[in-house]
Amino acid sequence: MAILNKIRQKTLVLIIVIAMALFAFVLSGLFDGSASFSNKQSTVGSVNGKDISREDFIEKVEFTQRQMGPNATNTQVMNRVWEQEVRQAVLESQFEELGITVEKDQMRDLLKTALATNPQFLNEAGLFDESKMNEYIANLKSNSPAQYASWVDYENSLAANALQQNYYNLVKAGLTGTLAEGELDHKLDGNKIDIKFVQVPYTSIPDSIVKVSKSDISSYINNHKDKFEVEASRDIKFVQFKEVASVEDESNIKNELGIFLEGRLVDETGRKDTIVAFSEVKNDAEFINLNSDVKFNDRFVFKLGLASQEADSLYSLKVGETYGPYKEGGYFKISKLIAEKQVPDSAKVRHILVPFLGAQSAAPDVTLTENQAKERADSLLAVIKRNRSKFPELVKEFSSDRGSLDKEGRYDWHPYNTMVPEFNDFEFEGKVGDLGVVKTIFGFHVIEIEGQTSKKRAVKVGTIAREIEPSEETTAKIFRDASKFEIGAGDTDFEELAKESNFTVRPVNGIKALDESIPGVGNQRQIVRWAFEDDANIGDVKRFNIPGGYVVAQLVAQHKAGLMSVDDATAQVLPTLKKEKKAEIIRDRVSVSTLEDLATAESTTVRTASAINMKNPTISGAGREPLVVGTAFGLNEGETSSLVDGEKGVYMIQVTKVTPAVELDNYQAAANRIEQQKSLTVNSKLFNALKEASEIEDNRIESQVQ
């Protein structure tokens, strides 16, 4: 009844929304060219001169979408396929250049390894039989072209993985750790120095006296172009209009739900209907499912299992008593204590699972029908009743439950309602020592109850819940507010208009062309597409339908691909330039040659640090200072440096003691460590290095694959 009433109430809104959506779809097809495919590019990109065809790419996206399921967005799937295509193309160019291939003999070995445990290709001795595999492939080729094509794809996948492994192994074979490298690594770690130093921290100079101009930032960007290359991006700001229930809506929902507490005679469309008080209802499950937005849960629970802030009140009810209305988790609810009983709060059992064809989680090699599985379970039960000591060996031979196989089929002490309902009912409603066969979604279980704890009160609570959602009048008002703001924002200042209406403006900067997520509103690819349309102009305003309301967005800025602008780079560059200018100020005001004079001039002290090494260039009390430590290792014992610009300040250093690393008879162990480190680097960095060196052209936006 609740659901039918809602559908009836929302009919007009649904018709309007569907009509607008269809109209918008047609218009979008006309304006963005998606109504016709004749003008689209035939490729979505290229890697090192090799094109990635649009048709093949879309086919792979559709296949991957089916694999990843409905929770994966189209953009996520597309990006995954793109990365796969790029990886394959980058590596294939290397394979071709080196002449690496997978020959017939290696392919046979790969298949043998991959299918070594597949029952379909094993002989009577349980060994892989190549003739069976060849027969299977020949049969596919003759009788099932589609499955044969899948098999070819499988072989190609094996070959691609093997080629990649071969290539990586070749690269690793060329990377060795020499004795000289081993000796150097040992000395970087083992050579130690003690120093005295004075640090003049950059914080000693106020930021206010350091001036950094836009031209300074621009010069820095141009001198470090590799750090500031950026993709095209857009900045927007938006106001969100959420379809949420008003106070009046909540009051109406609560009052409507309250009718079920006392019951009453209702006059609806000229017909007299009686609503029975919830406390008087006999068939609680039917009544709840008819009137509630949440289905009836026909299970007993302990107090801790009442997932409710009202658990104390609900648990204290007597059978037949009701409680509510109360607000919880986006619903108004009234609850009734339907039944109570005493049950153990935990149990210990062992079981044998006999699955059948089609049962949940059944392995591919399961062939028993449901009747055959039941017969086998009954037979096992008869054997166990005669001799319970056989239970462990029968578990090992017949049970398919991997989770309990190593424990002789046992599930040690576990709480009530841990298992599926049928299993749970048997183990908690029976008594210790009971044996039986129980059917669940996983198959037939032969169960023995081995233990139960003391019993305590469990209750079954039925709840009529009504979702707190906006009324038709409220949703219409929200639509009007969003539309009015969209129109007004096109003619006046976006933020001023929002401020007048007490709306919150949210900025989003740096949106990329293939992004889909807008912070605060989730995956909204439609907004990103709009921001990157060719005819989009700064200041444009548009309203978008989103789940649970609307967004009115304004395009604030359009950033072209290339070097980051001065304004965008300022936050990143400013600290570096300020540090450089502070170092210059410190140098200009200091004219000393000893640590003591520098300390006196800067009102600080001479400090010491010991056992410093090059491998971990950290100075105790000052932090990580690679340049300063490197300078110190270039000094002789007793020698003092000039001023050195460090990470946290300007330094003067004097080396007080040099302790050379212990000389080793052989540096092979260190060389081996170097070689191992290089090998690990291949796994983590090789592909990215190849990708960076490749010529990759991404036309997904232009070819409208987005």
- pLDDT digits over 97-113, tens only? 899 888 888 888 899 88
Amino acid at site 399:
S
**CATH of span 346-453:** 3.10.50.40
- Whether the pLDDT of residue 187 is over 90: the answer is yes
Residue with more model confidence, 363 or 557? 557
Tokens of 345: 């709060």
Q: Does domain 192-229+566-659 have CATH number 2.30.30?
A: no
CATH number given to 232-244+471-560? 3.10.50
pLDDT at 24: 40
Tokens (6 digits) for 461: 């609570």
Query: 143-152, 320-329, 436-445, 454-463: which has the minimum mean pLDDT?
Result: 143-152
Task: Give alpha helix (H) positions in 263-406.
Answer: 284-291, 311-315, 370-386, 391-398, 402-405
pLDDT tens sequence across 585-634? 999 998 999 999 999 999 999 999 999 999 999 999 999 999 999 999 99
User: Does the structure show a pLDDT above 60 at 246?
Assistant: yes
Query: Mind giving me the DSSP string for 41-90?
Result: -SEEEEETTEEEEHHHHHHHHHHHHHHH-TTS-HHHHHHHHHHHHHHHHH
Task: Inform me whether the pLDDT recorded for 554 exceeds 50.
Answer: yes
- Nearest 5°: the CA angle 462, 467, 470 is 160
Tokens coding 231? 């993709």
